[in-house]
Structure 1
Amino acid sequence: MNRPQYILQPVNPYFITFSLAAAFLLNLVPWGRLVGVPDFVALVLLFWNVHQPRKVGMGIAFMLGLLMDVHNANLLGEHALAYTLLSYGAITIHRRVLWMALPVQTFVVAPLLVGAHLVPFVIRLMTGAAFPGWSYLVNGFVEALLWPIASFLLLIPQRRAADPDDTRPI
């Protein structure tokens, strides 16, 4: 309990939009079949669902999922279902996660991120696609390891003072 507590400024809706769009553009990069490439949309969506559940909800998750399905030429709705379930899980636990230290949050969000990869994995197997291999689920663990970095980077605009002053510690 000795860690510093920051008073965060309200989040700018344009920054939320920019971060989700940047994550979507990072997902558009053709990484090929590399193991360990994170789903940036899932990571940023999870962050905003935990920190701003009233501004980024399941509707936005569903729309981003449909966009990812169209881009990947997957079965329409598989990423939409995965992102919606991820969003629902994040909104459900968002109050508890924010009370935890950042390293502990990694272990709490890991099942959500792995579950977001497990949904398309199971859907593909049910529709008769070839078994993609267990390395497909590694990406969820990589995203969980990136959670502290994403949290730090996405909270930077809220930590700055509105009018900086040398005599004020906050």
Structure 2
Amino acid sequence: MKTLNRRDFPGAQYPERIIQFGEGNFLRAFVDWQIDLLNEHTDLNSGVVVVRPIETSFPPSLSTQDGLYTTIIRGLNEKGEAVSDARLIRSVNREISVYSEYDEFLKLAHNPEMRFVFSNTTEAGISYHAGDKFDDAPAVSYPAKLTRLLFERFSHFNGALDKVGSSSRVS
């Protein structure tokens, strides 16, 4: 089967502004699909960097297809008629593995354009892991990975409120 790539399927590319923990079906078929629609119909203009939070090689990295994939929506319209809509998703720029590309993961925090973090982490992934340490590369749990990423951003931008997500001033 031929894989997708941006050379054969040219089109819009977006600056990296979203960090997404996870590459699962829900995130790809709903969240990234919504971002793709927002990019097309609004001024969102935001690309996604998918962070693979677990140590596995399955499914293959989205980077093997330049972040491109197809979502198919099937169902019934307002008239009760069967509909099927295929959409090439362009909102994902690349995927990185937090295990094999830890330095690249931390570099995401240095990008001044990053604005959002999305995750569909389950209860198992959010649970406390007593063995997690700040210097682990990476820590096991999602909260520890996210904390380390946010600390990296805070440190890199010297606590600048416009870069650490604060919407109010501390008095």
Structure in which a larger fraction of residues adopt strand: 2
Q: Normalised by the size of structure 1, how large is the TM-score? A: 0.34
Q: What's the TM-score once normalised by structure 2's chain length? A: 0.34
Structure whose residues are more often helix by fraction: 1
